[in-house]
Structure 1
Amino acid sequence: MAVARLLLLLALAVPGSGGEEAEVVCADSACYTLHRDELDWKGAQERCRHNGGNLASVGGPGEAARLRELLEAAGAHGPAWIGLWLQRGHCVQPQEPLRGFSWVAGGTPGNFSAWASEPSMTCTSARCASLRPPGPHGPAGWADRPCRLPLPAFLCKFSFQGMCGLLPLAGPGRVTYGTPFGVRSSRLAAAPFGTLAEVECEGGRSPAFALCKGSLDGGGFAWDPPGPLCPVACAHRNGGCQHRCLEAPGEPPRCSCHAGYSLAADMASCVPEDSCHPNPCQGTCRARPGGFECGCEAGYALAPDGRSCLDVDECLSGPCQHQCHNLPGSFRCACRPGYQRQPGGDSCLDVDECLRDPCPGPCRNLPGGYECLCPPGFLPEEEEEGGGRGCRAAAATAAGEEPAEVPDGPTGTPSIPPSIPPSTGAPWTARTPRSTGASGTTSIPRTPGMPAGVTPTGAEEGAAPPGPDEHSADGPRLLLYYILGSLVAILLLLAFALALVACRRRAAKKEKRPAKSAADNYCWVPEQPESRGQGGERR
C-alpha cells in the first residue's frame, strides 16, 4: 500500500497525467501526437512547447511514414501543422531540399524533403508548412500556407531517453498510460520514460500503478514495480508467466524460467540467456521471448534472412540538388562542374569562372560555365572543358593556314587586339603570330591618309589599347571603313587607268605625220612686169 500511495503521489506530480485523449504513437525514442484543435501555426507551436515538445519535425522516411500512419489511423482528411517554417525576410531557395525553410526545433536541416507541391516564391512574408493526407487533391506531402491561417489539427513531437514495453498483467485488467506530455492513452505499444501506468484489475480491487524508469543495472528502461500486476493464483493462466509461476505464503505470485533462460524486462516472459552471445546478427541483437531480434544501424535495412544488413540506397529518394553518390550506410551530395558547395549546406552555387580571366577578350559567365566574347577579326574555337571557348584569327583560317592564337601580352597573359573608341572612326590592328612561328602582323586596312605607326586615337603604336568592352561597338564602324577604303582604292585605280589611256592617245597623235603632194617639188618665182609696147621690144 505504501508503494501504491507513493506512485499515486507521483501521478499527481507528473504534468498532464490526467491529460487529454489524443492519437499518439511512440517508436524508438520519440512520441508523436495528433491534436484536433483549430489554431494558427504559432498557437499550435505554443501548445506543443507547453507540454515539452515542438511541432513535429521529419528527419527521414521513417518519421514521415509514422506521421502518415498517424493521420490515417485517426481518420484525418485535412492538413495538420508541422514544425517547418520560413521566417519573414528569408527567401525561398528552390535549389535546397527544404526550399529555405527550417525546423522550429532547430538542428541541421538535413537532406530529406517531402514536398507535395512547390512553396510560393517569396522573400517578404512568413510561410508555414502542413502535412496533408492523400486524397483527391493529390498525394500526401508538405504544402506551405500563410502562418496566420488556422488549421483544424496539428502534430507534435516529444523526444525521450528511451521507452518501456507494455506493462505485463497476471490477471484481467485495463491499463491507461499517462504520458509526460499530457496525453492519456490505452493503446500504446511502447511508453516513454516517465510514463505512469494506472492498472484497473478486475474483481473490485484498488488500482495499481507502475512507473517507466531506468533499470537498476543501467541498461534500458523498465517498469517499477516490474509486474506482472493484477496478481492472481498461479492456477489462473499460470499467473501470467511464460514458463513457471511460483507462489509463497503471504506474497503475490512471481514468474520464473527454465534452465538456460532468464526473465525478460516484463518479468513474465523468458529469453535464452545466450541468445545474443555470441551475436548471431550482422548488426544489433536484442533478446526476445523465445529467441532474438536483429536490427541494423541507420543507413542499412534488415535482409530477408532476418540476420544480415543491406545498404540502403538513399540516392533513390533524390536527396541532392545535382548529383548523389551512395556510400555504405550513407550518401554524399556533389555538384556538377561549374558549381561549388555552399559553406555549411548542401546547395550548389554557380562559380564565376570569369574572375580567373580565362579569355583573351571579354568574358561572360554562364550557369555552370562561361563564354569568351571574341573581338572583331577572331572566331570562337571549339568548346573547352568547363564550357569556355577561346578565339582564333579569322584571316588565318580563310587563307588555309593554321589558326593563329591571340598573342600573349608582356606579362604572359593573352593580349587583346585594340578596339576603336566610340569617339574615333579609325580601324584598329590585330596582331597575331604567323603560322611559321615568326612574329608578324595581320593588319586591317587603314583609312587613306592615316600616318603609319599612329593608333586611331592619335597615340604612337605600343600605347595601351582601349578596354575590351569597346570591341562590340566598333564592328559596324570598322566594316564601314573597310567599304569606304575599298571604294577609294577602286576610284584611284580607275583614275589611274583613265590617265594612262589619255596619255597614250596624246602620244599617238604626235607620232602621226600628214602625206606629201607633187607640188611640194617645185618653187614659185615672182612675176616680172610686162613692157608697155611692142615697139619698145628689144630684139
Structure 2
Amino acid sequence: SSPSLSLCLMLSLKVSLAEAGAGLGEKDAICNQEGCYAVFLQKKTFREARQACLDQGGTLVTMYTREAAGVVHNLLSATVVHGSRARLRLWIGLHRPPRQCSATKPLRGFIWVTAGNQEGQFSNWIRKEMPNTCAVPRCVAMTVHTSDGAGESGDNFRWAEGPCVMKLDGFICQYTYSMMCSPLKDEGGGPAVYETPFHFKSTQLTHVPYGSVADMPCPTDGSNPDAPSRESVLCIERDDGTVGWSKDAPLCSSSAPRQTLDWCSGEHECEQHCQNRDEDYYCYCSEGYILDEDGYSCKHKTPVNRICVDMGCEYDCSITSRSVRCTCPPGYQIGPDGHKCSDVDECQQQPCPQLCVNTPGTFHCTCYPGYQPDNTDECVDIDECLDEGTCEGTCQNTEGSFNCLCNPGFTSNSEGECIDLNECTEYSPCDQQCINFVGGYQCSCNLGFELKKDGLTC
C-alpha cells in the first residue's frame, strides 16, 4: 500500500470512529490472537442485539468450547460494572427456531449464529429443558453477577433460554480477525492509544486488530520545535502479504534521523522472507509455515505424523498408550473402513428454520421460494408486488407467494393473462340490449323505451 493511500484510509477511519462514539470502557473488550470480544450494556431484543453486532462487523458471541467460554468469562470478570445492578442478563449468539427441540443433544436443538460445530458437546445451562416452549422461537442469555469474586460459582455465567423479544441488559459481540498487528512500544511520550474497527479505545491491547488506528504521543524535542506532538498509523496488509503498521517504528521524529541499511537486498540467510530492522534483519515465513529454532529456516505448522501415515489415516490420528485411532476434521466422520473421512450431513439434524443445503465439511441455510434472507440471515417474505411488472392487473402479496387479480371488466385465461370479460354473454345483465366493450359494457333499450336510472332496466 502506498503511504498516501494508507494515510487517506487512516483519516477516513478516524472520522468514522469519532462519529460512531460507541462509549466502550477500557475494560469492556479483550483481544487475543483469534479476535476480540466486547460487552455492550444497552437494552435490546435478541434481533436488535444481533444487528448491532453485525453493523460493526461482528456477531453475537459463540462459545463452541469451554476454552472459548473461558475467554468470555475473563472479560466479564474484568469488566467495569456500570450502575448498581447485582445481576445482569446478556444476550449470546444461541437461538432455537420453533419445533427444533432435542432432549438428547447438549444444545437442546439451539444453534449458534455462526456456522460451526452445531453438534458441540459444551453447554452451560442454568436449568433443565423447558419442553413447553418448543413451539415458539427461543433465545439464550448469560447471567452475570456484578459482585467481586463471583467467579464461576452458582448461576454466574450460566445460560437461560427465554423469549427473543425481551429487552435485556446488554449483549456480547465477537469480532474475528485473521490478522493482528503487534502493539507499539512507548517512545517516551506515553503509551499508544488504539482504536479498533468496532470503536473500542485502549492503551492495553496485546493484539491489535487489522484496520485499527494507533495514536502515538511523542516526547517534546527541544532541538526540533516543529516536531509533531503525536503520530498516527494504521494496521494494514502490506504488499508482501504480511500485516503491520503503515509506518515503521520509531514513529516520532528525531533531530538526527539515523541511517538504516537495506540488509535484505544483499545476501542473507532467510529461507523464505526477510525484513529489515535498524541494525540488522529478521526472517519470517509464508502462511502455513513457522520459523524454525535456527531463526532462518521454515517448517510446516503441522508436520504429518509418520504413525498416522503408516496407519493409512486420511487426515490425522489420535495416539494413546493403548491404541492409534484415525480422526477427521470438524464436519467429517470416520468412514466404515476406519481410515477415510466422510462428510457429515448436518441437514439431517434440521438445523435451519426453512431449507438446509449440505456442503463438504459444513452446511448453510437457505429459504423457501418466495422468501429471502435479511441481514440477520432470517427468512422473510418477498413482496413480489413491489415490482410493477409482476402482474398485469392488481397484485396481492401473500406469505411466501402472491396472487394476480384482474381489474373489473377483465377475467383470467388459462395462461393467467387478463382478457376482456364479455359481460353481455356471461351474465346478461341488461333488460333489453347489451353492448360489450373492452373492460366494461353498456345497456340500451328498444325503440319506445328509455333506460332507468339503475342503468340496467328499461
- TM-score after normalising by structure 2: 0.52
Q: Distance in 2 between matches of 1:288 and 1:85?
A: 46
1:90 counterpart residue number: 99
Q: Which runs of 5+ in 1 are unaligned?
A: 235-245, 278-282, 301-310, 316-324, 335-340, 349-539
1:223 alignment partner AA? W
Secondary structure of the corresponding residue to residue 14 of structure 2: helix
Change beyond 3 A, Cα 1:187–1:314: farther
Aligned to 1:130: 141
User: What is the rounded CA distance, in whole Å, between the counterparts of 1:73 and 1:312 in structure 2?
Assistant: 39
Instruction: Decide whether aligned partners of structure 1 residues 198 and 342 sit closer, same or farther in structure 2, where only a CA change above 3 A counts.
Output: closer
Aligned residue in 2 for 1:151:
168
- Could you tell me which residue of structure 2 aligns to residue 69 of structure 1? 74
Counterpart secondary structure, 1:174: coil
Residue correspondence of structure 1 range 44-443 to structure 2 within 5 A: 44-74=49-79, 78-87=88-97, 89-106=98-115, 109-117=118-126, 118-121=128-131, 122-133=133-144, 134-138=151-155, 140-203=157-220, 205-217=228-240, 219-232=241-254, 247-248=258-259, 272-273=282-283, 284-286=289-291, 327=327, 332=333, 343-344=345-346
Q: Distance in 2 between matches of 1:265 and 1:112?
A: 44
Counterpart Cα distance in 1 of 2:319 and 2:140: 24
The one-letter amino acid of 2:106's match is: P
Structure 2 CA distance, aligned partners of 1:143 and 1:203? 55
Say which SS state the counterpart of residue 71 (structure 2) adopts: helix
**What pairs up with 1:512-527 in 2 under 5 angstroms?**
none
CA contact (8 A) 2:262 2:276 kept: no
Equivalent-residue separation in structure 2 for 1:64 and 1:314 (angstroms) = 27
Q: Report the Cα distance in structure 1 between the residues aligned to 2:95 and 2:165, rounded to whole angstroms.
A: 12
CA displacement at 1:212 relative to structure 2? 1.0
Contact kept, 8 Å, 1:172 with 1:230, in 2: the verdict is no
The CA distance in 2 between the partners of 1:233 and 1:297, in whole Å, is: 48
Q: Distance in 2 between matches of 1:288 and 1:176?
A: 34
Structure 2 gap ranges (5+): 82-86, 145-150, 222-227, 306-315, 336-342, 351-458
Q: 1:267 to 1:99 in 2, by over 3 A?
A: farther
Cα separation, 1, equivalents of 2:171 and 2:296: 40
Corresponding residue number in structure 1 for 2:378: none
TM-superposed deviation, 1:232: 3.8
* Deviation by residue 1:285-320 (Cα, 9 ceiling, x = unmatched): 24899899999669x9xxxxxxxxxx99799xxxxx
**In structure 1, how many angstroms separate the alpha carbons of the residues matched to 2:155 and 2:301?**
34
Q: CA 1:62–1:232 in 2, change beyond 3 Å: closer, same or farther? A: farther
**Structure 2 counterpart of 1:54, which letter?**
T
| C-alpha deviation, 1:104, in angstroms | 2.5
Equivalents in 2 of 1:86, 1:256: separation in Å? 58
Indicate conservation of the 8 Å contact 1:271/1:291, yes or no: no
Distance verdict in 2 for CA 1:345–1:4, change over 3 Å:
closer
Q: CA deviation at 1:169?
A: 4.7
Q: Say whether residues 1:28 and 2:33 are aligned partners.
A: yes
Contact 1:80 1:151 in 2 (8 A): yes
Cα offset for 1:54?
1.8
Question: How many Å apart are 1:107 and its aligned residue?
Answer: 5.2
How far the C-alpha of 1:142 sits from its partner, in A, is 2.8
Residue 115 of structure 1 contacts residue 141 of structure 1 at CA under 8 Å; is this kept in 2?
A: yes
Letter in 2 for 1:207: R
Secondary structure in 2 matching 1:116: coil
Residues 137 and 163 of structure 2 are in contact (CA less than 8 Å); yes or no, is this contact kept in structure 1? Answer: yes
Structure holding more strand per residue: 2
Check the 8 A contact 1:247/1:254 in 2, yes or no.
no
Q: Distance in 1 between matches of 2:293 and 2:281?
A: 6
CA contact (8 A) 1:4 1:208 kept: no
Which residue of the other structure, out of 33, 39, 42, is the alignment partner of 1:37? 42
Q: Deviations over 1:229-260 (max 9, x none)?
A: 124468xxxxxxxxxxx714xxxx89989x97
Secondary structure, aligned partner of 1:78: strand
CA distance in 1, matches of 2:244, 2:22: 23
- Give the RMSD, CA atoms, in angstroms: 4.8
How far, CA to CA, are the matches of 2:78 and 2:168 in structure 1? 19
Q: Indicate the percent of aligned positions where both proteins have the same amino acid.
A: 22
Report the AA paired with residue 83 of structure 1: G
Q: Provide the C-alpha distance between the structure 1 equivalents of 2:213 and 2:232, rounded to a whole number of angstroms.
A: 7
**Secondary structure in structure 2 of the residue aligned to 1:8:** helix
Indicate how the Cα distance of structure 1 residues 129 and 10 shifts in structure 2: closer, same or farther if over 3 A, else same.
closer
Pair 1:297–1:102, CA change in 2 (3 A): farther
> Which protein is richer in helix relative to its size?
1
TM score, norm. by length of structure 1: 0.45
Task: State the one-letter code of the partner of 1:211.
Answer: L
Q: Residues 276 and 182 from structure 1, CA distance in 2 versus in 1: closer, same or farther, beyond 3 angstroms?
A: closer
- Does structure 1 retain, via aligned residues, the 8 Å contact 2:46–2:165? yes
Q: How many residues align?
A: 302
Q: 1:129 offset after TM fit, Å? A: 1.2
Aligned-pair distance for 1:161?
4.0
Return the offset for 1:49.
1.9
- Give the structure with higher Rg (CA): 1
Residue of structure 2 in register with 1:8 after alignment:
11
Q: 1:186 to 1:194 in 2, by over 3 A?
A: same
Contact preservation (8 Å) 1:177, 1:195: yes
Mapped partners of 1:224, 1:313: distance in 2: 43
- If asked which structure has higher relative contact order (CA below 8 Å, sep 6+), I would say 2
